[in-house]
Chain A
Amino acid sequence: MRLLQSFFAKTFAHGIHPPTSKGQTDHLAIRRMPFSPRMMVPLSQHIGAPAKVLVHKGQEVVRGEPIARAEGFMSVPMHAPVTGIVEGIELMPTARGPKSEAIIINTYQAADQQVLYGADYEWQNASTEELIQQIQNTGMVGLGGAGFPSHVKMQVPEDHVIDTLVVNGCECEPYLTTDHRLMLEKTDSLILGIRIALRISGAQRAIIGIEDNKMDAVETIRERLTEDDPVSVGVVKTKYPQGSEKLLITALLDREVPSGGHSYHVGVVVNNVATLALIGELLPKQQGLIERVVTIAGPGVTKPGNYLVPMGTPLRFALEYAGYFGDISRLILGGPMMGNTVASLDVPMTKTVSGILVLEQTHDSGKQKTYPCIQCSRCLDACPINLNPSQLGRLAAKRQYEVMADQFHLNDCFECGSCSYVCPSNIPLVQYFRIAKSVNRERVAA
């Protein structure tokens, strides 16, 4: 059965098969993490304008209350993750690097941390515009990656017709199991969120793309669907980077998003399961996004698991709770393929952090030796969008960044890391490409 399944499962061309390393946490139900005595809520956890502060120093806030409002359409509000008192608004280090403004809240330890804020909302009767406004009010952003505001993503440009809503439940990054647990434990919220998103997009159908290593999630969801349900589940192959939006569209619908284009160009809107599950949970109650599920895993923690972490929890607090004792380690926010290492434990958890990984240090420095490209063509076989990373790498070594962009499609690279993963010469290809892109960007700007 399993074999047949993977034979028929749809997928995209190329890609890689890193060890999934999910066994450490995929059976662990979501648990709440306690509240840190001090919370730091950065005003910019999303792409777009930072939110505008609504509170002042010394003010009491109630868990779930808006504490910053959206600054224009391309922005989202923030909500208080705990009941407590505003200690101040300060520049704080963030996981992204530069310091940014954050609201500091001292938690009332004795307070009952029920979300009292909010009101029932009849979404069935609302117009599309209203629904989009309501989604913006929840402060929702794409929980899988960059933090693109969800309401912006759901708003389809006027001259485009959407026929399919693709729901991304691939979770192809190794170690991470948050989406998997959400599909199992918040199935109803997810399906409700999908129905809301269907309404907004005007699509006739929704397909939930799930990799075939999560068949329990597939079954759980299928059980809740009716005979002629517009929502269905599409099983795709377990392969990295199957969770990339464009590649999932290709796998499920055999459509190719044009280079430089968006999914709506091929009639599709894509949303992550975590995003829709939370919309399904929050929107009918008009509540805000104040916590999310985070996988904490890797050999460096003694209590790995899927934790419901309030936004603003300091990384140090979350790690201590998961049993991390500060051994020499590599700390990664996100997955091992596309996540970032963090330099400080004093950064807060934000909306976009799906995982905290504590991996062993790369000890064997002998393996780290870099050779020139030996033209083995492994990277070409790995690149999901059919670039020529070997050629790009050779050009990068010669700093011919413009040629890379003009003739070798540098800008189509979405930095999935597959090429670096397979390179026997250990060439930091992705790093080269990031540098090349930023140099080119500066050149254009100048």
Chain B
Amino acid sequence: MKQPIVEIRTSPHIHSSPTVAQIMRNVIYALVPLAVFAVYQFGISALALIITVILSTLLTESLFAWLSGRDNTINDSSAAITGLLLALTLPPGFPLWMGAVAGFIAIALGKTLFGGIGFNVFNPALIGRAFVQAAFPVSITTWTPAFAPGRFAEFIPSTLTLPLMRPNDLTPWIEQVNSNLANKMDAFTGATPLAAWKFDGVTTDTMDLLTGMVTGSTGESAALLIVVCGMYLVIRKMMDWRIPVSVLAGAFITALILFLIDSEQYPDPLFVLLSGGLMLGAVFMASDMVGTPVTPLGVLLYGLLIGFFTVIIRSFGGLPEGVMYAILLGNALTPLIESFTQPRVYGEKRMDKKMVVEKTVVGESVGEKTAEENAS
């Protein structure tokens, strides 16, 4: 028998779990239907925006990997996810150059600065989103009609704004789109369901919110589709279902309390759940594992808090949308939440279990055990 080459490793010698790269790839699969729907809804502008932002995140990731001499990590798809998610939260007519800036900031500031994947405290996509929210307050709240005729042939005028230029006012274009509509009832007012509620007190039909027959950010509007895509990840055990569920529960409970206090001023909880970016945020952003607590109780608390803050910001803040800030806040609180929700370890003193035959025996035995240890 020849002397074999024997491999020395420490136990365990078997391993089974999807790799990080596999998980990330599946998140992409889950997001693709949302992107497709967004393109169907908003046409080539949405497509161009999604591609631009993803390219921007991928290039930024590669650039920093090259600068820092680290292994290029674009293969693990996490940068692509950041880009895709980010694009889905931007308005469909968002100027492409601004989208590229958002993608750059997301990776550079939101991820690389912290040390790359696994070390980022905040969800990088939301960092990018928050940056452009502050930098381009007008563009990020300029909405365009969904299902505009001709959306596959021409860009929304603001899309192709030259870099560093301010986009032109969209009002004439929207009026033109409206005038082409057969049914004048569907005329676009320039407001998302959330803004319509916040500033005009109009709530949108629940069914339309579910199916995405409304306007809003590129990929936020089809609540039902988001849920289905999320379920795919849950079934493949690549997403922690407890996070979206507790975020939605937190939002629902808070909204319900407000609604019961004053149903005139506050919208019904179902509208709260289905409108704006809550669904996308709950399912795909709050649940991005990096930046979330790992302890079971921590996960619950984290989710509830995000839901709670979302509704509070929406109801009392100056902005119609609060999901983004709520999640960033949740990310920031994660270390704190984790620190006081450590699980109870097996064998830690707990008297409600039949831990001991006789309590006195344990008292003695602990003393005896230390004696034993000293002896050895």
> Which positions in A face B, CB cutoff 8 Å?
18-19, 157, 159-161, 163, 174, 246, 250, 253-262, 264-267, 316, 320, 324-332, 336-345, 357, 359, 361-362, 367, 369, 371-380, 384-388, 390-391, 408-409, 412, 415, 417, 420-426, 428, 430-431, 434
Contact = CB atoms under 8 A, between A and B. Distances in A.
22 contacts: A157-B368, A255-B353, A255-B355, A261-B362, A265-B361, A265-B365, A324-B1, A325-B1, A330-B7, A341-B10, A345-B3, A359-B14, A372-B118, A372-B119, A374-B23, A374-B118, A385-B346, A421-B14, A421-B16, A423-B17, A425-B118, A431-B10
A434 B10 contact: yes
Contacts of B7: 329-330, 341, 361-362
Given A264-B365, A420-B12, 11 more contacts: A161-B361, A259-B348, A343-B8, A371-B76, A371-B118, A374-B289, A374-B290, A377-B292, A386-B344, A391-B338, A412-B345
Contact of B347 (A339, A375, A380, A412): A412
B361 A160 contact: yes
Contacts of B364: 159
B11 A391 contact: no
A431 B368 CA distance: 31
A246 B357 contact: no
B294 A388 contact: yes
B16 to A, nearest CB: 6
- Rank and list the top 10 A-B pairs by shortest CB-CB distance, nearest first: A372-B118, A417-B12, A385-B346, A259-B347, A267-B357, A377-B294, A326-B4, A336-B13, A386-B343, A376-B289
Range of interface residues on B (Cβ < 8 Å): 35 or more
Interface in B5-48: 5-20, 22-23
A338 B19 contact: no
Interface of B: 1-20, 22-23, 76, 115-119, 240, 289-296, 299, 338, 342-350, 353-358, 361-362, 364-366, 368-369
Given A255-B355, A337-B11, A422-B16, A386 B345 contact: yes
Given A374-B117, A388-B294, A328 B5 contact: yes
A246 B346 contact: yes
A424 B20 contact: yes
B19 A390 contact: no
A38 to B, nearest CB: 16
Nearest to B9: A341
A412 B346 contact: yes
B63 to A, nearest CB: 20
Chain B CB within 10 Å, residue with most, of A161, A265, A361, A409:
A265
A223 to B, nearest CB: 31
A327 B11 contact: no
B240 to A, nearest CB: 6
B12 A338 contact: yes
